[in-house]
Structure formats: C-alpha cells, structure tokens
Structure 1
C-alpha cells in the first residue's frame, strides 16, 4: 500500500450482485492505481477484515497512514482491527452526497446557506474555530441536528 488508500465499494452492480471492493493508491507519478480488489458476499466487519488481512499479507504488511472511506461502520471497524495505527477519514464525495441526500429536502430553501456554512466549519484549520462554527450550525439549522449527532459528529477529527 501507499501512504494513503482510497476505498470504494460498488454495491451490487455486477452480475452476481456482490460488493466489489476497490483499494486505490497514488503512484510515484501521482496517478491513481488499483492496488487491490475483492468480491465479497456481504458487507460485514468480518468480511472486510478478511480482505484487509489478505491484502496486508500481499503487501508485505505495509501499513498506510490514511484510509479514505465512506461512512460504513463495518469497514471502519475492520480497519481499526487490521491497521490500528492507520487514521481513517471520510471521503469528501460521500460526505457531499450524503449531505444532499439526507438534508436537502429537510432544510428546504435554507439548504444553500447551510451547505456553505457546513463547509466553512468543515474546512476550519483550528479546533476552536471548528467548534465555534459547529455550534452555529447546531443553533441555526436545528432540523439537521439529528443527522449531525448520529452520523457526522463522530467524524469531526477527520
């Protein structure tokens, strides 16, 4: 593996409706390369852990610094088990798509302002500033609070 690994799962789009896991790295020429792939029968922590274990063996136990993942708790658990020193961060594309899917309708016409405020918070480089903007989001967009607390707050350090 390289310094960072991007993970994505094509959920059931093949003939057998099995998840195809893709692990992508950047090579020395800053080009994306598929480092590993696997077809699995289910999306459990145990299945992911098995894939990561086999991949670790195939890469001479090289450990990436960062894993970029979607918000799947099973994959997060598997990474924590197989690569306990690797930091996992939430994929920006998945974050954007989930914000739109989960909050656009709920926030209605205020979504555009919310979206801008969310990214200001997300891109804060200083912890105190992040928490200041987070508090503003909670106060200004109470309809989003349940989604924030259940799905996003645990990812705040990524």
Structure 2
C-alpha cells in the first residue's frame, strides 16, 4: 500500500515511472527485497488513471467539483453540455480567486492557449494584478472551441463568478470573436488590444518593403512616444503618405480601432500597469511540466491545483526572508 501511495503521488507530480520505481527500490533496501518489478508499477499507474475515468471523465470531473463545493461554498463552477449531453466546456474558480476578484478584478487580462491535454481543449485563464504587482488567477476555463458563442458563455460564467461586477477594463488579442463576446457580456467594459501582439506583426506585414526599417522605426516612435491623440493622427497620416501606405488594409483597420491599442488614447484610464496579455501567458507558463498529452479533464484539475500550490512557494523562495511564514494558495479549499 505504501508503494501504491508513492506511485500515485509521484504520478500526480509528473515524476517518471522509472524514477518512482527506483525510489521504492532504494527505500526497500535493494532489488532483492522487492516483491514486484517495474512493469507492475506501470500497470498499476495505468489502472489507477483508468479508474479515475471508469464512469466517464466528465462524471469524475463533476464529482470533483461537487466535492470542492461541499468543502467551501465559495467554490464556483459551471459546465456547458453539447447536444449529446456531454461536457464540452468548463469554468471554475476557487474561494481565493473569487475574493481576489472583489479586490483586484478592475482590469482583467484574458488570453487562450492550447495548453496540452488529452482533448486539446484551449485553456482560458482570467488574470488580474494584485497590490504587489503580482499576477493572480481570477478564474479559468477549458473550451471545446474558440467561437463567439462559447466565449459569451465563458464571460457570462466569469461575470456570475464576479458577483455580476464586470471589470472596468479587459485586455485581449485582436480576434473578432472576443470583441463580439465582450460587447455582448461586458458592454460597459473598456476593451484594450494587446500591444505586443500588434507590434510583433510588423516584420510579417512590412519586411517585404524596401523601406521596412524606416517604416518600423517611425511606427515605434509614433506609438510609444506620441503623447497627444491629435499629433498621433497627423503623424500617422504623414507616415502613410510618405511611404505609400494609404491602401494598406492592415494599417487602415488598426487606425479605425486606434482607441483600443494606442497608448496616448488609453492613458487616462486605469489599466493596472498592463498593456499586453503577457500576464496571461506567464500564468499559462506556470502549468508547464504539470500537463501533458494524456492529461484528462479530472487530472487537469488536480494538476492545476498542484501548479497553484507550487507557484507561491517559488515566489516565497525568491522574495521572502526565511522568517516570513509561507502563503499557500490552495485551489480546493
């Protein structure tokens, strides 16, 4: 039983099976004292994973969420079903995240990533910034697809989780499906486009131009250094005329939506120091090493919990003196 417990813990921590087996061998005092071989441990872990899903991964996930709700009534979750009554998308937030929403939900960074799991479901975290300037998780979802209808559903879940207090500002990439969903669910929320996503497209859009270096330099100066909307508009027109870019569709579309991404149009509003969705991408990186291509929905939630427990401990080691008590963020309590 001790060996089984060790294998399960190590598997949750993503320790390779051969290393788990060797640790058990060492603990037993050598191979001569073992009553099973490495193949037995692989078989056991396989059976253990299948047992989590023996009634269907979705049902296991539902039971998990229900037990979390029993432990703490502030735990929030919602599930979207497809036509076959199968789970297609989920949203959840623990009590700590919901409390953080009340204090630090003014501005939200939202970005999806195909964080690898068994179903290749995009991972969609809502990320804020606390009073120490640290990224905090306000809630997250797993989506079966990235269309307007599902983003509307996800944002509605987020709104209920935030006790119907919409954020003052939200930062996303330029996708139209996101803009549509935000307009429907958060009609009074200011929408900012991630500046980094826009600027990284400059080589793709203009590298073929012989005056690419001059165009890029002028755009950088115009965007980052211009402090007045009127001057920005005059200099933008001058840039287009000088380099023959009046018919450039990409630039024309950007100009039409300039109030969503140009700093001089946004500086009079509170954005918690954010201008990009890199907070979201940094949060996604926190899950590296915890999730892999065989991770089921149920295991995803377990690994999500593990990642959140590890994250504050790493910060503690870097920033807190030895005498300072550690702060643990527990997803399931």
Partner residue, 1:44: 147
For the residues of structure 2 that align with 1:17 and 1:131, how far apart are their CA atoms?
A: 43
TM-score, normalising length from structure 1?
0.87
**Superposition RMSD on alpha carbons, in Å?**
1.9
Q: How many residues are paired up?
A: 155
For the residues of structure 1 that align with 2:237 and 2:164, how far apart are their CA atoms?
A: 42
Give 1:68 deviation, angstroms. 0.9
For the residues of structure 2 that align with 1:131 and 1:89, how far apart are their CA atoms?
A: 19
- Within the candidate set 20, 25, 35, 2:123 is matched to 20
For the residues of structure 2 that align with 1:68 and 1:94, how far apart are their CA atoms?
A: 11
Indicate yes or no: 2:242 matched with 1:140: yes
Partner residue, 1:117: 218
Partner residue, 1:101: 204
Q: How does 1:28-39 map to 2 (within 5 A)?
A: 28-39=131-142
Instruction: Select between 48-57 and 87-96 the one with higher mean Cα deviation.
Output: 87-96
Aligned residues of 1:103 and 1:111 also touching (Cα < 8 A): yes
Indicate yes or no: 2:98 matched with 1:7: no
Return the structure number with greater relative CO, CA threshold 8 A, min gap 6. 2
Partner residue, 1:71: 174
Can you list the C-alpha shifts for 1:96-126, whole angstroms capped at 9, x where unaligned? 222233333x32x522221221122223221
Give 1:60 deviation, angstroms. 0.7
Can you list the C-alpha shifts for 1:55-82, whole angstroms capped at 9, x where unaligned? 1001111221111110011101111111
Can you list the C-alpha shifts for 1:13-65, whole angstroms capped at 9, x where unaligned? 44422221122100122101121211111111111010000010011112211
Distance 1:15 1:134, change over 3 A: farther
Partner residue, 2:284: none
For the residues of structure 1 that align with 2:157 and 2:113, how far apart are their CA atoms?
A: 20
Aligned residues of 1:120 and 1:133 also touching (Cα < 8 A): no
Helix, strand or coil: the match of 2:201? helix
Structure 2: tracts of 5 or more residues without a match: 1-100, 261-333
Helix, strand or coil: the match of 1:17? coil
Give 1:95 deviation, angstroms. 1.1
For the residues of structure 2 that align with 1:41 and 1:61, how far apart are their CA atoms?
A: 25
TM-score, normalising length from structure 2?
0.44
Helix, strand or coil: the match of 1:79? helix
Structure 1: tracts of 5 or more residues without a match: none
